[in-house]
Every structure is written in structure tokens, then in C-alpha cells.
Amino acid sequence: MQLGIIGLPQSGKTTIFNTLTCGDQPTGMITGKIEVHTAVVDVPDNRVDVLSAMFKPKKTIYTKVTYADIAGLDGSAGKAGISGTLLNQLTQMGALLLVVRCFEDDNIPHQAGSINAQRDIDTMEGEFIINDLIMVERKQERLQDEFRKGGGRDKGLIKHEIELFERLQAALSEEKSIRDLDLTADEEKDLSGYGFLSQKPVLIILNIDEGQEPPQVTYEHAKSKVIALQGKLEMDIAQLPEEDAAMFMEEYGITEPTLNKMIQLSYDLLGLMSFFTVGEDEVRAWTVEKGATAPVAAGVIHSDLQKGFIRAEVIHNEELIELGSLTEAKNKGKLRLEGKEYKVQDGDILNIRFNVK
């Protein structure tokens, strides 16, 4: 699943993309074309680092997240909605990172003539809502026609769908985002195929200058977070060799790049968590949705493990690290056997027992 990086023109989208991906895409360019650049990034996880130091495996593998640098919004969606090519890209994203310009630069004028983070956030959120309202109203018309003509789907199902879209229309008309509605899990699933922008999780990135205090902004929505990042400074650090980057960070008093936290927040926004498998050959982090059962987690490792699932040996990484080894964990009876109904917890270490005939 991908996370789309978007923002108003000259907000520093590509700078943030380069920071996250250690890339070197040209910044400050406006070509007028919809260009999308993607990169797969390891999710920083000190739990993996500690487990790798403990087992000294041949391979250490982190979970991944994919970022896409997408053309910017321009605040002019209006009655027509977001343009088709751009909208097609945005609807495919699992979550959105909204880059908000907070830095001053006389050489790079803001399209609105001044720097105002809250205004820009409201502008982008407004574009999402307008676009979704247009889509919902069009869908409502089609559903009403289908209900009147009949001869196809069950009318009860159509009526239920009409009522759902009426709720969406009412909320969007009041400038409320879909992600803030009290939707059931089934309703969330039914709507997922439409790619509504105001339903997607959002991470607001306040792109500040070196040493700048981030502005106070309000973004009180479900499935959303706000983080400040010294975009240009952290991009420069990300592009340095590891040894030079460490010296640079020490000079600026940076204990950990903010981009690490941003990547972890991105992962969390998607409703994902990590479990681990460990051994001398490999220490690996695996990705599952929160609430996944042990057989589902087994299937992430290999489909045969899910088909032949019997039990899972489970210990939480913190407990294993405290005990010092799997041998000690077994000697003290700390490895639990869990069945098919067990819900995997973030940070669990699993060993799957299975049998495929």
C-alpha cells in the first residue's frame, strides 16, 4: 500500500520525498505534467536492531512502506473537482502526507502571497471534501436511477446503499470529512473501493526552516497526525554517508532524524503493525493489519503456513530481550502456545507450527 505525498505548489513535497527516501529528485521544478516518483523505504524499528544484535543472523529485514511523490494541488478544485489524472493517482493511495509550507523564502513566493499554514491545510482539506461531494452526488443519481428501474440488484441492498450515501452527502455538505463519520467496519469496506480523499488517513507535515518553531495549527480529524520537520536540513542529512550524517546530527543536536518518526507514523496511519520471526539465518519484521489472527500472520510468511496452521509459539519481543535468548525463554516456560483465534500483538515473535498434507 502506498502513501501519497502532496501539497500546494512550492511547499517542499519533493524535499520531503527525498528526505524519506534518501533520494535526489530535483526540487523546485514545476513542469505542468503529472509526474509520480515512488520509492520503497524500510520502516525504522529499534526492536529489529536489538533482536538482530541478539541473534547475529545472516540477514536482517525490516518492514517496508512505499511513498509516491505526486503533483501538487493548486487550491482550485472548485465545482469541477480535482483533475482526472491527478485524482486517479490520489485515489490509489492508502494514506496521504500533506506537506504544508511554513518556511519563508523571498526567492520562492507562495502562490497566496504569504505563509499561513492553517490556511493551506484548510485549503487542501476543502479540496478533498469538494471532490468527494461531487463523487457522492453522482453516485446518488445512479443509485436512484437503479432503484427506479429495478430488474437488477435486490432493491433492499440498493436502498441501504442510498441511505449510506445520503449520510455522506449530508456530512460533506456541512464540510465534514468522511473519516470523521461513525462508520461500521462493513461500511468502511464498502466505501474503500471509491477512493474518497476525505476518508483516507492523513499525516500533516509542517515543513519548517532550520531552527524555526513550528506554527500552531488545528487538524482535529480521525485517522490523522501532525508532525513538524526541518525539511531541507533533514534532506541534507539523509543524503550524507552514515558516518558524516552522524557527525552532522551531533553538531545540530539531533538525536534521531524526525523522518524516522514520520515513517513510523505513516505505517501506523495505515492501520498496520509488525510481528517478528527470529533465528540464526534471519531476523525479520513482517506486516499485518492490526487485529490480525495468528493464521493470517502465518499466511503473510507463507500460504502453506496458513493452510496447515496448528499452533503458534509466541513471546513478546520485550520479554525475549529481557530473558536474553530463546533457550532461556523455553527453560522458563515463557513461550506460549496460541491457537487460531489468537490476535497477534504488535511486537510479538512467532514460530508457526503447521502440517500440510
User: Which strands sit side by side in the sheet containing 64-69, from one edge to the other?
Assistant: 37-42, 64-69, 2-7, 95-101, 202-208, 224-230
Q: What is the pLDDT, as a whole number, of residue 257?
A: 76
C-alpha cell read off for 196: 474518497
Give dist(CA 100, CA 125) in Å, integer.
Answer: 12
Q: Contacts for 295-300 with beta carbons within 8 Å, 24 or more apart?
A: 295/340, 296/344, 297/344, 297/350, 298/350, 298/352, 298/354
294 closest CA partner among 345, 344, 349: 344
Q: What is the pLDDT of residues 199-221, one digit of tens each?
A: 999 999 999 998 899 999 999 99
Do 336 and 322 contact (CB within 8 A), yes or no?
no
Give dist(CA 336, CA 316) in Å, integer.
Answer: 10
How high does pLDDT run on average in the chain? 89
Q: pTM score, two decimals?
A: 0.86
Whether pLDDT at 280 is above 90: yes
Q: What is the pLDDT of residues 250-276, one digit of tens each?
A: 887 777 777 788 888 888 888 899 999
Range with the poorest average pLDDT among 56-65, 161-170, 184-193, 271-280: 184-193
Do 30 and 7 contact (CB within 8 A), yes or no?
no
Domain segments of the chain: what residues? Answer: 291-354
291-354 has CATH 3.10.20.30 classification = yes
Whether pLDDT at 45 is above 60: yes
